Amino acid sequence: MMIFDATLRGSLLLSMFAATTLLSGCGGMKGNAAHGKELYAQCQACHKPAENFVGPKHCGLIGRPAASVPGFDYSEGMKASGLTWDEATLDQFLTSPVAFVNGTKMGFAGFDNPSDRADVIAWLRKMNDDPTICPKKG
Ligand code: HEC
């Protein structure tokens, strides 16, 4: 009986683990950075990774408070947003910038597809970790 119990519990745990892994895949927790890089071409109409352009630079983005790049002229809406950029806030912002940040001047419609958003965020993260794209300071 003991052995049977342990096996049962083991396989139950295993299937729970499989379900969680599957769910987090569907939830877009893990993006595909290679596809994100392709989508990022759309951002590059206005953004350069390491310098300000039409939009602020993206190097250093993850973990940075919104509207905090020196020398970039942000909208009042972005300055008042009180956001910090992480996976969750970026996911909401990239769904519909104007809906999420009232008064933003980012002229980008957004991505309807959650996996597109996860992929772009994965690329933003990867880009930030690549010193050939985002040189580390000091
Ligand atoms: C048409 C030009 C344009 C496009 C395309 C565009 N952006 Fe922007 N982006 C801006 C502008 C302008 C701002 C500043 C917004 C403000 O001050 O309200 C901005 C701001 C941002 C911010 C906030 C940065 C900060 O320092 O607070 C993020 C994050 C961002 N963009 C990500 C993206 C991503 C990712 C894409 C591609 C999916 C993208 N943007 C496409 C123009 C653009």
The atom number, within ligand 1, closest to the CA of 107 reads 1
Q: Whose CA is nearest to atom 35 of ligand 1?
A: 43
CATH number, domain at 105? 1.10.760.10
Is residue 134 domain-resident? no
- Judge if 16 and 49 occupy the same domain: no
Distance of CA 8 to the CA centre of its chain: 39
- Judge if 54 and 90 occupy the same domain: yes
- Judge if 103 and 124 occupy the same domain: yes
- Judge if 36 and 17 occupy the same domain: no
- Judge if 6 and 41 occupy the same domain: no
Is residue 136 domain-resident? no
The atom number, within ligand 1, closest to the CA of 103 reads 18
- Judge if 11 and 77 occupy the same domain: no
Higher pLDDT, 111 or 19: 111
Q: Per residue in 36-63, pLDDT tens?
A: 999 999 999 999 999 999 999 999 999 9
- Judge if 44 and 3 occupy the same domain: no
The dihedral over CA atoms of 16, 89, 44, 29, expressed in degrees to the nearest 10, equals 0
Banded model confidence at residue 115, pLDDT cuts 50, 70, 90: very high
Is residue 62 domain-resident? yes
- Judge if 71 and 9 occupy the same domain: no
Q: Whose CA is nearest to atom 17 of ligand 1?
A: 74
pLDDT of 9 > 80? The answer is no
Look at residue 1 in the predicted model and tell me its pLDDT. Answer: 56
Q: Is 89 exposed, middle or buried (0-12, 13-18, 19+ CB in 10 A)?
A: middle
Banded model confidence at residue 23, pLDDT cuts 50, 70, 90: very low
Q: How far is the CA of 1 from the centre of ligand 1 (A)?
A: 61
Please state the domain count of the chain: 2
pLDDT of 138 > 90? The answer is no
pTM listed for this prediction? 0.83
Cβ contacts of 72 within 8 Å, gap of 6 or more: 52, 55, 56, 57
- Judge if 50 and 74 occupy the same domain: yes
Contact of 136 with 129, CB cutoff 8 Å: no
The atom number, within ligand 1, closest to the CA of 54 reads 12
- Judge if 58 and 70 occupy the same domain: yes
Is residue 21 domain-resident? yes
- Judge if 24 and 41 occupy the same domain: no
Cβ contacts of 62 within 8 Å, gap of 6 or more: 85, 86, 124, 125, 128
pLDDT of 28 > 50? The answer is no
Range of the domain at 79: 32-128
Averaged pLDDT of the chain? 87
Task: Determine if ligand 1 sits within 6 Å of the CB of residue 67.
Answer: yes
Task: Determine if ligand 1 sits within 6 Å of the CB of residue 105.
Answer: yes
- Judge if 57 and 89 occupy the same domain: yes
pLDDT of 132 > 80? The answer is yes
